[in-house]
Amino acid sequence: MPSTEDGTPVLEHAHDHDHAHADHLHDHDHDHHDHGSGRFALGPWSLLLPIFAALLLRNRIGWFEGETVRLWSTLFVSVCVQAVPFLVLGVVISGLIAAFVSPDLVERLVPKRPVFAVPSAGLAGMALPGCECGSVPIAGRLVSAGTPPAAALTFLLAAPAINPVVLISTAVAFPGEGRLVLARFLASLIAAMAVGSWWARRNDESLLAQLRHEHEREGSRWSEFIDVAARDLVHAGGYLVLGAMAAATLQLIVPRSALDVVADNELLSVLMFAGLAILLSICSEADAFVAAGLPQFSLTSRLVFLVVGPVIDLKLVAMHAGVFGRRFAAIFAPVTLLVAVISAVVIGQVLL
């Protein structure tokens, strides 16, 4: 068998190279397969069709004849109808950003020093509207492009919470409550910058060692836009349905006395809305309409829902683990939750 000067067999080396190449192709095919199958996997969005079909046919379905059920369906539909236009606008802008805005552009605009990069990245969230689902891979690409991790994480938290679409939807959901819109902006920005500053001081690069890079998409930019926007719309729409169902159910199924007990206790209200924000995982363009559907609770407790939801929920924890690694998510999630709750409560007490 031919060999090199150091005695390494040539054929074995070539075989190893081919084997490694085959493994790479297998991994790529596996990722591609997962990506494709994920589009058709059952999830919250699978509730859309049967629920809307039932609502359209409610006059022909016997159990919709009850007054309570009719009121529930009215509350549910009102939340969805008000939120859908902002949800569609949000996912369209998110798709345009994913297809046409290069992370390299943001990386060039963000200062390198964390003391300037963190506030700059926080304010940059206003210029790039999109839901929280789109901000996670963008932040991952920013880190891999050389952006300071503290700045990328600040952008990750700020972009879905303080962009114009979210603020306008909040103003529409809470007419005449300009203080709440301002409180949401300030509490979300402060929380994002506080977490970014904490990360800058921690400076633990080992937690980002498992950063996973996305495969380059094939096809034109417009095909990428359609793919991202359609997937985000279906995904976020399903969670909107779950949130609207939860708000309507809380109003009608849960005894009024129980809701009043929680509403009269500010601590219980804050804890309840923080938990709902995590569990419901509603897109930031639509969450204000769900919060507005529970008017008996204080504005401060509902502000907690609006600040926590865009920065940490079940789907975001999974996405953080997938992009940055499980160790990162295990530390980042509780810190973000604590900072978001404190920021919302403090700002709410001052402004609301």
What is the predicted pLDDT for the residue at 324?
83
Q: What is the pLDDT of residues 242-266, one digit of tens each?
A: 777 777 777 677 777 777 888 899 9
Q: Which one-letter amino acid corresponds to residue 287?
A: D
Q: For residue 175, give every residue at least 6 positions away whose Cβ sits within 8 Å of its Cβ, in sequence order, or none.
A: none
Question: Which one is predicted more confidently, 213 or 192?
Answer: 192
Whether the per-residue pLDDT at 62 is higher than 60: the answer is no
Lowest mean pLDDT among 43-47, 84-88, 186-190: 43-47
Q: Stretch 99-126: mean pLDDT, rounded?
A: 74
What is the predicted pLDDT for the residue at 26?
40
Whether the per-residue pLDDT at 284 is higher than 50: the answer is yes
Measured at the CA of 60, the angle between CA 54 and CA 63, to 5 degrees, comes to 70
Q: Stretch 82-99: mean pLDDT, rounded?
A: 72
What is the predicted pLDDT for the residue at 12?
44
What is the predicted pLDDT for the residue at 333?
94
Lowest mean pLDDT among 116-125, 146-155, 202-211, 294-303: 202-211
pLDDT band (50, 70, 90) for residue 94: low
Q: What is the pLDDT of residues 1-52, one digit of tens each?
A: 454 444 444 444 444 444 444 444 344 433 333 333 344 344 444 555 555 5
Residue 109 CA to residue 103 CA, distance in Å, equals 10
Residue 336 CA to residue 196 CA, distance in Å, equals 10
Residue 50 CA to residue 59 CA, distance in Å, equals 15
What is the predicted pLDDT for the residue at 10?
46
Q: What is the pLDDT of residues 305-327, one digit of tens each?
A: 999 999 998 888 887 887 788 88
Question: Which one is predicted more confidently, 253 or 122?
Answer: 122
Whether the per-residue pLDDT at 190 is higher than 80: the answer is yes
Residue 117 CA to residue 132 CA, distance in Å, equals 20
Q: Stretch 170-198: mean pLDDT, rounded?
A: 95
What is the predicted pLDDT for the residue at 206?
67
User: Do residues 316 and 281 touch, judged by C-beta distance below 8 A?
Assistant: yes
What is the predicted pLDDT for the residue at 335?
96
Lowest mean pLDDT among 83-97, 170-184, 272-286: 83-97
Question: Which one is predicted more confidently, 304 or 228?
Answer: 304
Q: Stretch 166-174: mean pLDDT, rounded?
A: 93
Residues for the chain: how many in total?
Answer: 352
